[in-house]
Copies of this chain bind each other. A is one copy, B any other.
């Protein structure tokens, strides 16, 4: 369990830090301006040129698809432990991961396809995703039920000859707003009479299939996150070839277990980058402003907060590294407690640091003059996405209590 950077990681890290300094931070204003211009022009749901301009540079720099484990298809792949410090750095700017083809939900979808799709499905959908030519979405959560309990999912996947017919209303389908979104992974009930955890399946659905309606984008606090978006999507009699089924009928839970580990830990790594950036902005602001005759940075009430955040961030990072190490060595299933733990810890740290950083900035923290408000909105969703805090805490506690049951 060695958390020191290997020379390979150290080299990637330096290259990535350089790329951030050269290409990402200096383009933050351009990104905002381009999006604002699209919005003012009547359609914010368009790919942004700044991203498309930077992607080839990142690929050329060897900062591409780093999130995936090494394989024949992804020779540049890294272990989770190797990827962690890189992912954290990317997370400091919300749109940066896309530049490196490392952004959600594509990463989780690519990992799912890599593990569970047939070679022909891989060629059709995984390869263009790996090349950054298209994007994807994951359709699981439903408005009608408490989706935190995935057995509640009600969408139907029914066999009809060589096809499955899909029906259901999904929402919080992130990325469905992007015109480049070419493919969905869809979860639904294929075997309603099977055991509780064998009823669900996951299947690959081309975005242009007839019967799919992107009903509306949903806002997050006041943001619409264009051009990515989080959408309500209606599936009505959508027909998909049986060969698009992943792993096999009734194995959706099994995939979810495998899929959600990496997706969750990536969110946590990025959340740490967010927390670091928020703490940095907070310190700079406190250093620069004077009230009641002294710099606000001299107030011990802020010392308490800064110290607690420094502790919490460093501890969350160490726990994330431990979870990554375990995923790499003993597998996602055995690492499930650690994955659940960081899934609770990291987003909460990020939210709390951001809230305090906003407080330190006064009104400036609430608006987009600083990235804090937008980062807060995003980080707040992470306390719900991929399972709310409460569900993860319950899972952790049941494992702990089980260890102490009298035999």
Contact = CB atoms under 8 A, between A and B. Distances in A.
Interface of A: 1-4, 141, 143, 145-149, 152, 171-172, 218-224, 230, 279-280, 283-284, 286-292, 296-297, 299-308, 310-311, 314-316, 318-319, 322, 337, 340-341, 344-345, 358-359, 362-369, 373-374, 376-377, 380-381, 383-385, 388-398, 400-401, 403-406
B221 A393 contact: no
A318 B314 CA distance: 9
A307 B396 contact: yes
A290 B152 CA distance: 9
Nearest to A141: B363
A397 B143 CA distance: 26
A306 B401 contact: yes
Contacts of A220: 222, 366-367, 373
A311 B345 contact: yes
Number of copies: 4
B384 A284 contact: no
A384 B401 contact: no
B152 A396 contact: no
21 contacts: A2-B3, A146-B290, A146-B362, A149-B292, A221-B376, A222-B222, A222-B223, A230-B363, A283-B403, A301-B304, A303-B397, A306-B397, A307-B340, A307-B394, A308-B344, A311-B396, A315-B319, A318-B319, A359-B383, A363-B384, A366-B384
